[in-house]
Amino acid sequence: MPSNLFLVRHGQSEANIMQKTSKAGDQSLYTEETMTVPDRSWRLTELGVQQAKVAGAWIAEQGVGFDRAIVSTYTRTRETAANLGLNVRWEENRVIRERSWGEIGSMSKQDFARLYTQNKAYRDSDPLYWAPPAGESIANVAENRVRNILSTLHRENARENVLMVTHGEFMWATRLVLERWSDEEFLERDEDKSQTIHNCTVLQYSAVRPEDGQISDKLTWVRRSWPVQVDGEWTMFVGGWEPFDRKYFTNEELLEKADANRHFFQDSFGS
């Protein structure tokens, strides 16, 4: 695998503004015109451009020379990549595009809850495997598209440094695969607001041990950083490095996991 893999979420987009105001109860931005805009076409806001510049300056300060730079084909990621201001040559790849939201992509949360009652109930009960009507689940993105791009990097960019500008849901799916989360670990993080992937979050994976610079055979550490304003000044919040590795289980540990779920029927049928 690469020695360093940076994933950057796009900056704030106009669609993010629509979603934010809708969540606050204001549906006025969902008009006949805006609800027909393809998801790939949304532009960054002025704030989104500023976030990209702040994130790009911080990435440059890390002193990592990138051997490959990949950007999603969506407009908001193209704008973000350009505004990072890094000296790289970008290649577009639709594999790292946003998760498909299918029929509900241009719909407010309130309309989704009203028109797709059963599908919403499925989402609430099983967000990892839930898929919007005609859309993708996080598990789909992880096992299909994330593994696709990681296989490419394994073949073509071993021990190199790679930068990708992508989307929040794709980054969630990447964490699921690279950090080898169990279903339960995903659900815990999905409920944890401190794990939010903010606009222009930089997710940095490294095979270089932070304390002494020793290089591992695989990506083993991760940290998250994102732009914030402090007293009116832009800076990057930089999280600490966290190690991760493949997990193995004994028979007893697997049974312990199973016992976390209750039985619904006490007697075996047909006995």
State the burial class of residue 151 (Cβ atoms within 10 Å of its Cβ: 0-12, 13-18, 19+): exposed
Is 109 one of the annotated binding-site residues? Answer: yes
143 annotated binding-site participant: no
270 known ligand binder: no
Marked catalytic residue, from 10, 79, 167, 179: 10
Q: Which residues share a beta bridge with 165? A: 8, 71
262 annotated as a binding-site residue: no
Q: How far apart are CA 79 and CA 93, in angstroms?
A: 15
94 is in an annotated binding site: no
Q: Is 263 annotated as belonging to a binding site?
A: no
Q: List all residues 6 or more positions away from 271 whose beta carbon is below 8 Å from its beta carbon.
A: none
Q: Is 125 among the annotated ligand-binding positions?
A: no
| Residue 76 marked as a ligand binder | yes
Angle at 100 between CA 155 and CA 14, to 5 degrees: 110
How many CB atoms within 10 Å of residue 212? 6
Residue 227: enclosing H or E segment and its boundaries?
Answer: strand 221-230
* Residue 167 known to be catalytic: no
Beta-bridge partners for 13:
44
Is 266 among the annotated ligand-binding positions? Answer: no
263 is catalytic: no
**Catalytic residue from among 79, 98, 136, 179:** 98
The answer to whether 14 is a known ligand-binding residue is yes
Measured CA to CA, the distance from residue 93 to residue 191 in angstroms comes to: 30
- Taking the C-alpha atoms of residue 215 and residue 161, their distance in angstroms, rounded to an integer, is 13
Binding-site members for substrate are 9-16, 76, 109
Active-site residue set: 10, 98
Binding-site members are 9-16, 76, 109
